Amino acid sequence: MNISIRLEEEKDYRKVEYMIREAFWNVYKPGCDEHLIVHNIRKVPAFIKELSFVACDNDKIVGSIIYSKAKVKNDDNKEFEVLCMGPIGVLPSYQKQGIGSLLINYSIEKAKQLGYKAVIIFGNPKYYHRFGFKNAKEYNIQTSSGENFEAFMALELCYGGLNDISGRFYADKVFEVGKEELEIFEKEFPYKERLVTDTQLK
């Protein structure tokens, strides 16, 4: 296995969507919508083309990561730009081999070089703590509904990157997927059965 990371190109888009669909299908719910989210992110101003990467085994795309611009709004309605990471996905047959970590570490370094201050995510704390993510509560940042929980995390990309930033986090509305929109998009892919699985019940 010879894994390399490069910027995603337009010719990769459909291959990445197939890969993301395979990575997320029936994992968190019957079916998935992450492939549609990736498809839609590329069409909005929040998309950061310079932080959209694919992991390849020779010429085969086996993983990808994408970022979008988001904001934290404080009590005075002042807005601060931050990054939203994801979806990030790896083909099931390539999972648990460090490819996700490679994509995260590589893209975080690139985000630092581009001058971004922080990344905010929703994810598994046991996984993301290894990259330096902390409960967003430590930075006085809440979800858009004013909540805090372990799966809502933030990472400073430079020293004190979140020192002057506090308030509620708002990702781009591109993450809100309608059922009808998803059903139409699904028709562009081979049929897969939606199932209830053990991973959805955790």
Q: Measured between alpha carbons, how far is 88 from 201 in angstroms, rounded to an integer?
A: 21
Considering the domain boundaries, does residue 188 fall inside one? no
Count CB neighbours of 198 within 10 A.
6
Assign 199 a pLDDT band (cuts: 50, 70, 90): confident
Assign 139 a pLDDT band (cuts: 50, 70, 90): very high
Q: What is the CATH number of the domain that holds 39?
A: 3.40.630.30
Considering the domain boundaries, does residue 76 fall inside one? yes
| Predicted TM-score (pTM) of this structure | 0.95
What is the rounded average pLDDT of the residues 179-196? 96
Residue 198 confidence (pLDDT): 85
Considering the domain boundaries, does residue 180 fall inside one? no
Segments forming the whole domain that contains residue 17? 3-172
Nearest CA among 152, 186, 63, 164 for reference residue 117: 164
Angle, vertex CA 150, rays to CA 64 and CA 162, nearest 5: 75
Considering the domain boundaries, does residue 191 fall inside one? no
Q: Does residue 202 have a pLDDT over 70?
A: no
The crossing angle, in degrees rounded to 10, of helices 34-41 and 13-24 is 150
Considering the domain boundaries, does residue 129 fall inside one? yes
Considering the domain boundaries, does residue 201 fall inside one? no
SS3 (DSSP) at 17: helix
Considering the domain boundaries, does residue 61 fall inside one? yes
Count CB neighbours of 22 within 10 A.
17
What is the rounded average pLDDT of the residues 139-154? 97
- In the chain, how many domains are there? 1
Q: Measured between alpha carbons, how far is 154 from 139 in angstroms, rounded to an integer?
A: 8
Considering the domain boundaries, does residue 199 fall inside one? no
pLDDT digits (tens, 9 = 90+) for 75-120: 999 999 999 999 999 999 999 999 999 999 999 999 999 999 999 9
